[in-house]
Amino acid sequence: MHRPIPRTLLALLGAGLLGGAAQADEPTSYGWIEKATIEPWGTEVKVKLDTGALTSSMQAEEIEAFERDGEDWVRFTTEVEDEATDEVVSKTFERPVFRDLRVIGAGGEESRSVVLMTLCMGETLREEQFSLEDRDDMNYPVLLGRRTIQGLGSVETTRTFLHEPDCNDDSPVKSHAEKEYDEDIGV
């Protein structure tokens, strides 16, 4: 015999007010703007989750390609406002080139280096692919595109700052480093 579930119980389950398995499998939601730290630097930056962009990008200036042990590398400086201190800070990074990105947009075609960088979002470290771009004239120094967002969860387009970066040595690391793409059309 089938007994209907009382409406109050359904409402509590739907609102997520009852714990258990129903909540455990639900993906995390993020606002369209979040705070993250660039690791291992620890600088806190505003990050825009942009469903219109395919590939993530990060503020980079003085981009210089070079070769190390027969591999393509890139040296670049990231200058951002540290949201935790309201100070402008900069750091020079050296990373192997993970792939080259061909971008076709309204301004024409350009090539950008893509490197792996790690962000702390919430309590999770995320190693992601970032194209290097001078984003000085943009509001957000880090943009997360669809390839990164698909591993995060849902984006609540009317909300911001749903998570504070809170990673430590025991934080789980999620990576999209294994994915390699031949070519991007647009970003």
**What is the token pair recorded at 94?**
């050296």
> At residue 21, does pLDDT exceed 80?
no
- pLDDT the model gives residue 67: 97
122-171 pLDDT, tens digit per residue, is 999 999 999 999 998 899 999 999 999 988 889 999 999 999 999 998 88
Q: Identify whether 111 is part of a domain.
A: yes
User: What is the domain extent for residue 116?
Assistant: 38-175
Q: Is the residue at 28 inside a domain?
A: no
Which CATH number characterizes residue 80's domain?
Answer: 2.40.70.10
Cα separation, 148 vs 120, in Å, equals 13
Q: Number of folded domains in the chain?
A: 1
pTM: 0.79
Q: Is it the case that residue 86 has pLDDT exceeding 90?
A: yes
143 within some domain: yes
CA 33, 125, 149, 154 dihedral sign is negative
Mean pLDDT, the chain, integer: 84
Is 157 inside any structural domain? Answer: yes
Residue 2 confidence (pLDDT) = 47
Q: Considering the domain boundaries, does residue 187 fall inside one?
A: no
Tokens describing residue 42: 């620890």
